[in-house]
Amino acid sequence: MKTEPVGLLFDMVRCAGCRKCIEACMDLHHFEGDPKHVTDLSATAYTSMIEKDDCSIRNLCRHCLEPSCVSVCPVGALQKTELGPVTYDVDRCIGCRYCMVACPFNIPRYEWDNPVPAIQKCDMCVDRLKAGEKPACVDACDYEATLFGTRTELLAEARARIAEDPDDYYDHVYGETEIGGTSVLFLAPKPEEALGYKEILGTEPLPGLTLKQLNRVPSIVVGGGAALMAIWWITNRRDEVAEAEGRVRPGGPKGSAGKDDHHEWN
């Protein structure tokens, strides 16, 4: 029986900005630094937080249902697991960084200071999940601002919170439909774009859009090749005609003068 994928729900209304989620993540991965100063993702910060308009806005990998980072990886270093998380295998990675370009949320980070660099990002504590535990950030939250469960459960809880306090919540679950849906969902007190989250993403999964463009490549290559061949034939034929009419020295450079400068090479 197939297991329903799990995910996270982050509720900005309930978040107190204590940053215990960041601290727990850094402790689990043995990252150094002060959680209070983590305002952006990095190779040593899988989740971050900023304060804007009295909201604590958390950032982390969305673990998309159909992730573009997975679709562009040429070696399968990134995988969308049946459990839900998007995982990364450093041993397969060739360092192309296509995933960084493809991600619409600008999540993957590169170890620029490492002689043998790798990509770093949240994997939803997949090893803890396999052991029957919750992600570290969930266990650390005292305010139920970060919840863990199946995507169905999280969507139901999100809608219940909106219905219970409609004046406190903006009526939208960010991540429910964006780019085909994500495993990490967000609740906010106002439209997400006002808080810095991307709005113009559409509802179609990005790998589908990429595939449409890639499907055009063969026809473009064939058409372009045919056009170049036609140009070559016309140019070559013009020079052959010119040579036959005596306007080009036999064996000389194509397009060189003929009768007018005969004295220079006779």
pLDDT digits (tens, 9 = 90+) for 144-168: 999 999 999 999 999 999 999 999 9
Are residues 25 and 118 located together in one domain of the fold?
yes
Confidence check: pLDDT of 198 > 90 = no
According to the per-residue pLDDT averaged within each range, which of 63-67, 218-222, 234-238 is highest? 63-67
Are residues 134 and 232 located together in one domain of the fold?
no
The Cα–Cα gap between 198 and 214 comes to 25
Are residues 166 and 69 located together in one domain of the fold?
yes
Are residues 132 and 112 located together in one domain of the fold?
yes
Within-domain flag for 56 = yes
For residue 197, count other CB atoms closer than 10 A to its CB: 17
Within-domain flag for 22 = yes
pTM for the predicted model, two decimal places:
0.77
The average confidence (pLDDT) of the chain is 86
Domain end: 156, 185, 204, which one?
Answer: 204
Place of tokens 């909201």: 55
Domain end: 172, 187, 204, which one?
Answer: 204
Give me 21's structure tokens.
Answer: 């989620």
The answer to whether 8 touches 146, Cβ cutoff 8 Å, is: yes
| Among candidate residues 264, 259, 238, 239, the one with its CA nearest the CA of residue 251 | 239
For residue 20, count other CB atoms closer than 10 A to its CB: 19
Within-domain flag for 167 = yes
The Cα–Cα gap between 168 and 158 comes to 13
CATH number at residue 24: 3.30.70.20
Q: What percent of the chain lies above the pLDDT cut of 70?
A: 82
Domain end: 168, 188, 204, which one?
Answer: 204
Are residues 61 and 114 located together in one domain of the fold?
yes
Are residues 162 and 40 located together in one domain of the fold?
yes
Are residues 29 and 134 located together in one domain of the fold?
yes
For residue 76, count other CB atoms closer than 10 A to its CB: 10
Q: What percent of the chain lies above the pLDDT cut of 90?
A: 68
Are residues 196 and 255 located together in one domain of the fold?
no
Within-domain flag for 1 = no
Within-domain flag for 36 = yes
Domain with 200, as residue range(s), is 6-204
The answer to whether 179 touches 202, Cβ cutoff 8 Å, is: yes
* Residue 76, pLDDT score: 96
Are residues 249 and 135 located together in one domain of the fold?
no
* Residue 168, pLDDT score: 97
Are residues 147 and 244 located together in one domain of the fold?
no
Q: How many domains does the chain have?
A: 2
